[in-house]
Chain A
């Protein structure tokens, strides 16, 4: 979060100057935070900011208050929700909620939240932070977040095949329909036909939680990233049963299965001669990762096929910009579709829901926010008119979901 923030001094309807806006996506394994920060002390380049603001201001609808700043993204493990609460508290993020417009005198502060945890932990937030969680539907948030990113953020989507990352040019006018596959603890597959127009068509319980849960049991890794890291050095052939293992090293050419195709994940582990301790954690991790990625890729493709969708966007915290994961998913989609469908990934993969929840502030009658892009760095066209939120990616293009998005927020 070392990005520049831009602040304009336009007054907000909120009285405090340090107001931030926060939205949460509280999933089964992870809590994702998106918050908007106006100027704060950590921002280092006031001059640049100011000049940017000026240029921005000139382009913007002057009648509206403009807030410069950036969207920050953060995540916590759901099991460590107290850390998250503390973080919010220390950053005073919870003060940036909105007040109930029907009862303006009320001090009740609402924070937008989605994910199952928005229900489960509502009381906890009330107790610890004295805020109410305004629950937004999970799927709606995912879709809103994805639509926003795909339309507004330059080079948000990319393909990844054979180690080659390639940014996809998405024409915002030709975005729909697409399949959105959100891989969190579990997996949701959503057919998206437009803004707010979508249907959850499928899903699978073999998701990120399965990878991490099984991985923890099998490898003693301490966290998800460590497990993922391990898979880099692993060789799944030690533990997976390949077509070649069954066919004595030959392909099963008749039905197009090469000797290296996995016939059965963990199929070699049935051997009596080896116990868990005899397998390298690296190999286990690799094998797990392939099993789950491949399965998700396959089910996604079958659902895309069902609805004649050519584009499949994969998101969710499971991926984490991990090359091998993306590669496996891409290969699965490519293999099953015989090259007809394409897997694409989102750089903000993990934050769709949180972002969607954040966008939903817009709908509120009070303190509504409009996020606008900062045009100077990545001047993407503002052609996505009608969408009130514009923004551009700031700096990095490595697909790491933890970066910030510079943006401008318009108070209404």
Chain B
């Protein structure tokens, strides 16, 4: 499996075809599809888009009524898994619709909005040119007329609703997105525009939306949306769910057929606990009023923090023992072992604050924050477990914006569930935790189409889309490439220093009631500005499961798993060491203009920042494999419109290859059948190994191990690859 080629050039014969089907080249496919939609169809509608595509029509659009709808068929998450707010690509989306769904909660407004790639037509033209020049037809490759796009995930504080309205307005999201003029006819624009929204604010602020944006809010039930969102994410995204115990994060592969029933705990301002039995089949069985709002509300009163995130960050440096009364405090440092309580178990949250000797200002805000966080997380874990127990549910998924991927919060919840269930129940977390309701509201634009969605159609990509702010908007949205570049220049240091990966916390030594201090302190909580983790979910309808896989569900395409730290460090070093050379190549591929240089610089900043982020938290975007890293680099290049850094080289090589092709064919023709077959196989093999471009292959080559393979198939050729190996090899 030529799984790892970040550099899909490959001089020979079938490579172009391969490129198009290759798992790692799906981006190219997306784009090609997109181009059809955007570039050529621009203002027209989907009928054209679907022209060449028979089998898409089947599951793409079932329109009902006059309400604009989204086509979610074959939605795909991009790249690897991402952090909390990945974006989803909807290649089949072709209608003019509202591109926005909201979940307006008590503390936060969550937006899910749809955007499309801006730069696809260019890409397509170039591809075409290459193809034309190479004289390669598409052959039987299906030309998918899919429209691509991404689901973005953004949040605002509800108290700053105006910022949210400004954001929507500036991006024209209520009119179908910033580039709606491409494809949205003027007439249809927002006379009766309707936005799907859920959460209490959908009721409360409906008038305001009407007044400010001229749109009506179509209210979707909150629980419906939560469940729809969770079901979608759990089914559609490969690494959506994970466990988090004692600082150790582990992704969980959920079998679609064995998903239900489960308990969904959504921790927003308050907490809803929902038993989910199937799509649309659920019951809110419990809840608690001690939730995220309590943490932030009490935290604000007690610490003067200015934001939830600040408060959460404080907790990283806290020691709750100064303020909580522990069993040991009561028992003079002893355990109360008879009932299984260790000395470090919290007997009473804030119980030490009853002391006369200390006032509020005598306590460190860090300690207060941690104590609050533990109290609330633990309580939620406990109540959730008790409800799971009630219904015999083994799986508990926690979502909601309270968690924010915060390691300690998750550890605490997991600990509570583990402790009370004696290990029988398991707490799991969702990477899109905060956006369940918003995703569900988005899904409600069209209630069908999702059934067709297969995990393999959804590829989660690294978050390339602007804004690069971890889901939170600072300043104006980054509309075009230029803004993006400016943003990178302004906020991201070039050549961000890449340090060694933060070692995983050693398995904590938590006693019976233990769980002393956060075992996952580290810098796992990122302030918004530095978190480059707005994820992207892309739909790649062209992907199919290889039919001969023994166990498709368990198949892991990544052959190099970067959860091995040595491996991770090695590849990070290689990639960052390679960066200057790559930038040079990329700039050259775009003619070496000043503009190209500027873009190249921005690319270097962005990619370095991504690497730095991943170095800090390798699992930030889900389980990390080498293929994902290479893909990240490719996508990052494309983000700054380097459509193919190796284009000129590939061109040269392809031309050279084609020049010798007749000779090779002639030679092959003269072989007897057996030799010919062998030679062909060797040739393919050699190409494929070379395709990896990894140092290991180069080493193999140098040691002569595979030289024999080459010799047979290539000794008549000019060996175009010889001069290139250093460019692609790592």
Could you tell me which A residues sit within 8 Å of B by CB distance? Answer: 27-29, 79, 115-117, 119-122, 137-139, 184-186, 200, 202, 204-210, 212-214, 216-218, 220, 224, 239-241, 243, 245-248, 250, 252, 254-255, 261-272, 275-276, 279, 284, 291, 294-295, 298-299, 302-303, 305-306, 336
User: Which residues, 348 to 366 on B, are CB-close (under 8 Å) to A?
Assistant: 348-356, 359-360, 363
Smallest distance from the beta carbon of B235 to chain A beta carbons, Å? 24
The verdict on B302 contacting chain A, using a C-beta distance below 8 Å, is: yes
In whole angstroms, how far apart are the Cα atoms of A21 and B475 in the complex? 73
Please state if B203 and A119 are interface contacts (CB–CB under 8 Å): no
Contacts of B203 in A (CB 8 A): 247-248, 250
Chain B positions 265-283 with a Cβ under 8 Å from a chain A Cβ = 268-270
Interface size on B, residues (CB 8 A): 71
B293–A213 CB distance below 8 A: no
A272 CA / B294 CA spacing, docked (Å): 15
A sample of 5 cross-chain residue pairs with beta-carbon separation below 8 angstroms, ordered by A number, consists of: A120-B332, A209-B348, A266-B294, A266-B298, A270-B300
A246 to B355, CA, bound (A): 37
List residues of chain B with CB within 8 A of the CB of A269: 296-298, 300-301
Q: For residue B355, which residues in chain A have a CB less than 8 angstroms away from its CB? A: 79
With A138-B336, A246-B204, A263-B106 already in contact, the answer to whether A207 and B354 are too (CB < 8 A) is no
Bound: A229/B428 CA distance, A: 42
B348 touches A186 (CB 8 A): yes
CB distance from A69 to the nearest CB of B (A): 31
Q: Contacting B360 at CB < 8 Å: which of A138, A217, A247, A272?
A: A217
Distance in angstroms between the alpha carbons of A209 and B308 in the assembled complex = 25
Does B346 belong to the interface (CB within 8 Å)? yes
- Tell me the nearest residue of chain B to A214, going by C-beta: B350
Q: Are A265 and B289 interface neighbours, CB within 8 A? A: yes
A28 to B677 alpha-carbon distance, docked (Å)? 84
A200 / chain B contacts, CB cutoff of 8 Å: 339
Stretch in B246-254, B381-389, B548-556, B607-615 with 4+ CB within 8 Å of A: B381-389
5 closest pairs, A vs B, by CB? Answer: A246-B200, A116-B330, A209-B351, A267-B293, A264-B293
Whether B348 lies near A266 (C-beta < 8 A) is no
Q: CB within 8 Å of A: which residues of B? A: 105-107, 159, 199-201, 203-205, 221-223, 268-270, 284, 286, 288-294, 296-298, 300-302, 304, 308, 323-325, 327, 329-334, 336, 338-339, 346-356, 359-360, 363, 368, 375, 378-379, 382-383, 386-387, 389-390, 420
- Distance between Cα atoms of A279 and B339 in the complex (Å): 40
Q: B360, A116: Cβ atoms under 8 Å?
A: no
Given A119-B332, A246-B201, A252-B222, residue A264 in contact with residue B289 (CB < 8 A): yes
Bound complex: CA of A117 vs CA of B333, how far in Å? Answer: 10
Count how many pairs of residues, one from A and one from B, have CB atoms less than 8 Å apart in the complex.
231
Across the interface, which residues of A come within 8 angstroms of B300, CB to CB? 269-270
Bound form: Cα–Cα A341–B221 in Å: 30
Residue in contact with A28 in the complex, picked from B106, B222, B348, CB distance below 8 Å: B348
B323:A213 contact, CB within 8 angstroms: yes
Are B356 and A295 in contact, CB atoms less than 8 angstroms apart?
no
In the complex with contacts A263-B106, A303-B386, A270-B348 CB distance below 8 A = no
Contact B301 A263 (CB under 8 A): no
CB-CB under 8 A for A267 and B294, given A209-B354, A210-B348: yes
By a CB distance below 8 angstroms, the chain B residues around A210 are 348-351, 375
Query: Smallest distance from the beta carbon of A377 to chain B beta carbons, Å?
Result: 37
Residue pair B330, A291 in contact (C-beta under 8 Å) = no
B379 touches A295 (CB 8 A): yes
Across the interface, which residues of B come within 8 angstroms of A186, CB to CB?
Answer: 325, 346-348, 351
Closest CB in chain A relative to B265 CB, distance in Å: 14
CA distance A220 to B460 in the complex (A): 52
Q: A306 touching B389 by the CB < 8 A rule?
A: yes
Contacts A29-B354, A207-B348, A306-B386 given; does A295 touch B290 at CB 8 Å: yes
Residue numbers in B under 8 Å from A271 (CB-CB): 159
| A302 in contact with B294 given A217-B363, A246-B200, A263-B289 (CB within 8 Å) | no
Contact B354 A79 (CB under 8 A): yes
Q: A210-B351, A214-B350 are in contact. List 8 more A-B contacts (CB 8 A).
A: A27-B330, A28-B325, A206-B290, A210-B349, A241-B270, A264-B293, A266-B297, A299-B383
A116 touches B332 (CB 8 A): yes
Closest partner residue, chain A, to B356 (CB atom): A79
Residues of chain B contacted by A247 (CB below 8 angstroms):
200, 203-204
- Chain A residues near B329 (CB-CB < 8 A): 28, 116
Residues of chain B lying within 8 A (CB to CB) of residue A217: 302, 350, 353, 359-360, 363, 368
A241 touches B348 (CB 8 A): no
Given contacts A263-B270, A269-B301, contact A205 B347 (CB under 8 A): yes
Candidates B293, B333, B346, B378; contact of A241 at CB < 8 Å: B293
Q: Which of B200, B331, B359, B375 contacts A206 (CB 8 A)?
A: B375
- In the bound complex, do residue A205 and residue B301 qualify as a contact, i.e. CB atoms below 8 Å apart? no
Instruction: Give the nearest-CB partner of A121 in chain B.
Output: B332
The answer to whether A279 touches B301 (Cβ under 8 A) is yes
| Min distance, Cβ B284 to any Cβ of chain A, angstroms | 5
Partner of A267, one of B107, B223, B286, B324: B107
A270 touches B200 (CB 8 A): no
| Cα–Cα, bound, A267→B333 (Å) | 36
Cβ-defined partner of B289 (8 Å) among A28, A121, A262 = A262
CB pair A185 B351 closer than 8 Å: yes
Report the Cα distance A186→B354, complex, angstroms: 13
Asked whether B387 lies within 8 Å of A265 as measured between CB atoms, the reply is no
Closest to B355 in A: A79
Instruction: Name A115's closest neighbour in chain B (CB-CB).
Output: B330
Cβ of B331 and Cβ of A119 under 8 Å apart? yes
Given A210-B348, A270-B296, A299-B383: A240 in contact with B289 (beta carbons within 8 A): yes
A243 to B332, CA, bound (A): 43
Residues of B within 8 A of A138 (CB): 336
Complex Cα distance, B284 from A220, in Å, reads: 39
Q: Write out the residue numbers on chain B whose beta carbons fall within 8 Å of the beta carbon of A270.
A: 107, 159, 293, 296-297, 300, 308
Closest partner residue, chain B, to A273 (CB atom): B159
Tell whether, in the assembled complex, residue A185 and residue B363 are in contact, meaning their CB atoms are under 8 Å apart.
no
Bound CA–CA A220/B356 (angstroms):
10
How distant is the Cα of A272 from the Cα of B300 in the complex, in angstroms?
Answer: 9
Of all chain A residues, the one with the shortest Cβ separation from B372 is A214
Q: Return B320 CB to nearest CB of chain A, in Å.
A: 10
Closest to A249 in B: B204
Which residue in chain A gives the minimum CB-CB distance to B204?
A248
Q: Which residues of A contact B289 (CB under 8 A)?
A: 240, 261-265, 267, 291, 294-295
Q: Is the Cβ of B270 less than 8 Å from the Cβ of A205?
A: no
Q: Which of chain B's residues have a CB closer than 8 A to the CB of A252?
A: 200, 222
- Nearest residue (CB) in A for B324 is A205
Q: Who on chain A is nearest to B295 by CB? A: A266
Q: Knowing A116-B330, A213-B351 touch, does A241 contact B269 (C-beta < 8 A)?
A: yes
Query: By CB atoms of chain A within 10 A, which of B200, B289, B291, B350 has the most?
Result: B289
A247 CB to nearest chain B CB (Å): 4
Q: Which of A28, A240, A336 contacts B351 (CB 8 A)?
A: A28
Distance in Å: Cβ of A221 to nearest Cβ of chain B: 11
- Is B294 a contact partner of A265 (Cβ separation < 8 A)? yes
Q: How many Å lie between the Cα of A84 and that of B347 in the bound state? A: 23
In the bound complex, do residue B106 and residue A267 qualify as a contact, i.e. CB atoms below 8 Å apart? yes
- How distant is the Cα of A208 from the Cα of B387 in the complex, in angstroms? 24
Kindly identify which residue among A212, A241, A254, A291 contacts B106, using a CB–CB cutoff of 8 Å: A241
A217–B351 Cα distance when bound, in Å, is 11
Question: B269, B270, B339, B390: which contacts A306 (Cβ < 8 A)?
Answer: B390
Smallest CB separation, B359 vs chain A (Å): 8
| Cross-chain contact B301 with A264 (CB below 8 angstroms) | no
Query: When the two chains form their complex, are residues A205 and B346 in contact, meaning their CB atoms are under 8 A apart?
Result: yes
Task: Output the least CB separation between B638 and chain A (Å).
Answer: 40
Whether B330 lies near A28 (C-beta < 8 A) is: yes
Instruction: Give the residue among B222, B284, B325 with the most A Cβ atoms within 10 A.
Output: B325
What's the Cα separation between A342 and B414 when bound, in Å? 31
Q: How far is the CB of B311 from chain A (nearest CB, A)?
A: 10
Given contacts A214-B353, A216-B353, A270-B107, contact A291 B294 (CB under 8 A): yes
Distance A250 CA – B353 CA, assembled complex (angstroms): 38
